[in-house]
Structure 1
Amino acid sequence: MERLVSEQGAGKAPGLLSNRFIQTIILSNVLLQIGIWVRNFAILLYVAERTNNDPYAISLISVAEFAPIFVFSFIGGTFADRWMPRRTMIWCDLLSAVSVFVVLFAIHFGSWQSVYFVTFISAILSQFSQPSGMRLFKEHVPEQQLQQGMALFQSLMAIFLVLGPMLGTFFYSSFGLEVSVAVMGFVFLLSALVLVRLPKDKVKPAAEAGKGQFRKEFVEGFSYVWKSRVLRMLGVSFLLAGLAVGLAQALNLFIVTERLGKPEKFLQYMLMVNGGAMLIGGGVIAAISKRVQPQVLLAIGMTASALCTVIVGFSTSVPVTLTTQFVNGLVFPCIHIGISTMILKWSHASIVGRVNGVLNPLFMGMMVLSMSFAGALKNAYPLVSIFTVAGILFLIGALAMIPIMKYKSAESSAESLDTASSGA
């Protein structure tokens, strides 16, 4: 299949935005991002208001959002390779919409704690839908456009990093919780309808045969990643990046209050500068991505993030910190785009869901772990030391790319097929 895609891409491949699959996925993602940001801020503001800013109640929102990633990512990736991907995505959005309206009914009749289930159920279903989307991306986008496609989606994420908080706050402030939750259910339903435009699933996965196969396929995902030198090194970088990002994100508020001497609300300006720069960076990378190998992009992003993280930790100047945040935002898309492209290029189409299911929890797990310890570290060590350690973690992650820097996509196809056959 990869060979066929490569041969098609060698001719006159249509422009990325003229690809019906890309058009459909972008529209679906816009709708989902609207729903997710409205959900996140409506629930956050509602729980804070209802519990008088109880830290435990507020932290449960993050638990509901991230816990399913650890429990269901491996399982979801395996099923994504077994099931029909288009059908899986449509059903996940439909079930998300149904669950939202069921929870909305419970909220209306007084069970306000049900708001946690909106996030929890949606997060579970996304662990089945997201790897299915990656699999379809592998099938319907020519290999030479994969990195450009990832850059396009990174730009979309950056847009919502800037607009999402304002959108979510507006809906909750203007219409309250129930309307905000209803909006989420409605956009998930619209997304399911949009996904009907996707090209029909061509071939039933061979693994759909017996239940006894599930355990074997589940293990194959881990074996596949371990046997691939590229994916193994990517996993190391994923792990280190998660640790570094978790430390920096958890303590950014203290950078504002202690290092810059600004009130807590100043953090939103730092985030807006960072998000705006990510939008620009995603566009720039989309333009140059065809000429740069994904592992080079990843190494550039992690090296720049290492330097910027250390500068932010040392800086007591608002202009220096904001400028550094802007530079970091410009290069940070290199990390996400490089990782996503490497997963797609170095994974056979039949196993891309499981590869995603193995690698994704590494980042999220380490991020949540470092966020959990960030408070204790803050009490024991100065911010400068912690941000320096985070920078060193980024740098080690960049150095892990050196052994695989010369790997080309042609080699990736051979490696993927060899690994798949040896793991079968």
Structure 2
Amino acid sequence: MQQKGGAAPSLFRNGFLQTILLSNVLLQIGIWVRNFAILLYVSETTAKDPYAISLISVAEFAPIFVFSFIGGTFADRWRPKRTMVWCDLLSAVSVFAVLLTIHFGSWHFVYLVTFISAILSQFSQPSGMRLFKRHVPEEQLQQGMALFQSMMAIFMVLGPMLGTFVYSTFGLETSIAVMGVVFLLSALVLVRLPKDEQEPRTEEGKGQFRREFVEGFRYVWHSPVLRMLGAAFILAGLAVGVAQALGLFVVTERLGKTEEFLQYMLMVNGAAMLIGGGIVAVFAKRVAPQILLAIGMVVGAVCTILVGYSTSVPVTLVVQFVNGLVFPCIHIGISTMILQWSHASIVGRVNGVLNPMFVGMMVVSMSLAGPLKDAFSLVSIYVGSGLLFLFGALMMIPIMGHKAPEKAQAAAPAPAAVRTEP
């Protein structure tokens, strides 16, 4: 529980945070090994068939559209620790079941590994946000998010190498088995979390899933901060999707390099994200999350435009480094705003409403990247993507003066259907 009164203990001594970080390290190992094993296997098996390879992304992102709203609602209804443990256990069971199917049946079942895991994560992730809200002191939320961002950056650098090594050394079945094992280990680690608190509901709200589901959208709409954050999400998703989809063309057309050079650009970006996450963790308490998000989006806008214009390898790598350096500002700012401006009883649903806005727009823009490339020059597309980032930053101006409430309850009244006892 958050400490009431007095100075909060060191963030690194927070037992909850230690447990969650260890669990996420294990999950990241499994996810990166899975992603690269399936990517390389499908690429080899289908002779690099674009349709077969694109199905991997569909299996990963489609559940976010369908289950994010539902998962967020259930995460607010269920006990969060128990939800996370069961999600990891079910993921492990599904992995081993699919592994048997692949061994004795068709290789096409590899898509199920990603699909089922992605579904369960839509229930587990918002539950983790609820626990984060409960067990990390308010003044340390932003620093805690910075630690998570740093961990993600580490795996962006090491993950591709780890996944490629495991697959090339041991093959597909061992790689998938590794994922199952780390999900089991993660479930065991999560058992160390503090016991779930009883959260009695009023009789009126019992079983009112549909009402609670709609309440999440209403809550976001009535909060000026969350509403502006949603608009920024949409613009950022559109910008990121186009830039990611056409990154390969920047390497081959603008820089004149082979496709393999893309991995070095990603590694430079990931290394910079690791450094940036550490810097933000140090200064997080002193900067409002809206300012962090705006800084990240403004610098992201400039870097995106420069990447589109540049034909110099050193210049592009420097710009990629700067972009990676400030990217944690975006992730940390968004996560902190969701936690600080959401009532504890509705964090899951707020996350479930906002997250698909970003991912949905990213997938839409990725699907439009091909036609855009045929109709416009690469420079024009990247300038447009940079302007989307800039417009997203402008969305922060009306809420720059808003202060996070000292208590979550002050941000907005708790929804009637999920109001907890004081």
Asked whether the 8 Å contact 1:224–1:419 carries over to 2, the reply is no
Partner of 2:216: 221
Q: Which amino acid aligns with 1:66?
A: F
Is 1:318 aligned to 2:296, yes or no? no
Aligned: 1:351 with 2:362: no
> For residues 331 and 208 of structure 1, do their structure 2 counterparts lie closer, same or farther at Cα, with a shift above 3 Å needed?
farther
Report runs of 4+ in structure 1 exceeding 4 Å deviation: 207-212, 421-424
Specify which of 373, 395, 403 is matched with residue 400 of structure 1. 395
Task: List alignment gaps of at least 5 residues for structure 2.
Answer: none
The alpha carbon displacement at 1:17 in A equals 1.1
Task: Within 5 Å, give how 1:259-408 maps onto structure 2.
Answer: 259-408=254-403
Partner-residue secondary structure (3-state), 2:412? helix
* 1:409 aligned partner: 404
Q: Kindly indicate whether residue 165 of structure 2 is the aligned counterpart of residue 167 of structure 1.
A: no
- Deviation per residue, 1:192-231 (Å, 9 max, x gap): 0000000000123527987740000000000000000000
Q: Percent identity?
A: 76
**1:110 matched to which residue of 2?**
105
Whole-angstrom CA distance in 2 between matches of 1:413 and 1:36: 33
**CA displacement, residues 162-182 of structure 1 (integer Å, 9 cap, x when unaligned):** 000000000000000000000
What's the counterpart of residue 246 of structure 2?
251
Whether contact under 8 Å (1:37, 1:164) holds in the other structure is: yes
CA contact (8 A) 1:82 1:208 kept: no
Q: Does 1:74 align with 2:74?
A: no
Q: Distance in 2 between matches of 1:215 and 1:359?
A: 18
What secondary structure does 1:409 align onto?
A: coil
Kindly provide the amino acid, as one letter, of the partner of residue 392 in structure 1.
Answer: L
8 Å CA contact retained: 1:84, 1:205 = no
Task: Confirm or deny: 8 A CA contact 1:227 1:419 kept in the other structure.
Answer: no
Shift of 1:406: 1.0
Letter in 2 for 1:134: M
Q: Which has the higher helix share?
A: 1
Q: CA deviation at 1:346?
A: 0.2
How many residues align? The count is 419
CA distance, structure 2, for counterparts of residue 414 and residue 209 of structure 1: 21
- Letter matched to residue 261 of structure 1: G
Query: Where does residue 175 of structure 2 map in the other structure?
Result: 180
- Counterpart of 1:305, as a letter, is G
Deviation at 1:422, TM superposition (A): 11
Relative to structure 1, is the Cα distance of residues 319 and 417 closer, same or farther in structure 2, using a 3 angstrom cutoff? same
Aligned to 1:132, which of 127, 130, 134? 127
CA contact (8 A) 1:273 1:322 kept: yes
Residues 82 and 206 in structure 1, CA contact (< 8 A), matched pair in contact too: no
For structure 1, which runs of at least 5 residues remain unmatched after alignment?
Answer: none
**2:205 matched to 1:199?**
no
Q: Secondary structure in 1 aligned to 2:231?
A: helix
Q: Once the 2 structures are TM-superposed, how far is the Cα of residue 420 of structure 1 from its aligned partner?
A: 3.7
Structure 1 residues 27 and 82 mapped into 2: Cα distance closer, same or farther (>3 Å)? same
Distance of 2:161 and 2:203 partners within structure 1: 44
RMSD over aligned CA atoms reads: 1.6
How many Å apart are 1:418 and its aligned residue? 2.9
What is the letter of the counterpart of residue 381 of structure 1?
A: F
Q: TM-score, normalised by structure 1?
A: 0.96
- Please tell me whether the aligned partners of residues 208 and 417 of structure 2 are also in contact (alpha carbons under 8 angstroms): no
> Quick one: distance in 2 between partners of 1:168 and 1:78?
33
Distance 2:417 2:53 in 1: 47
CA deviation profile, 1:10-32 (whole Å, cap 9, x unmatched): 51211111101000000000000
Do residues 100 (structure 1) and 125 (structure 2) align?
no
- Give the superposition deviation at 1:413: 3.4
CA distance in 1, matches of 2:223, 2:32: 36
Partners in 1 of 2:204 and 2:31 — Cα distance? 35
Instruction: Report if the CA contact (8 A) 2:59-2:112 is conserved.
Output: yes
Q: Secondary structure at the match of 1:74?
A: helix
Provide the C-alpha distance between the structure 1 equivalents of 2:204 and 2:141, rounded to a whole number of angstroms: 31
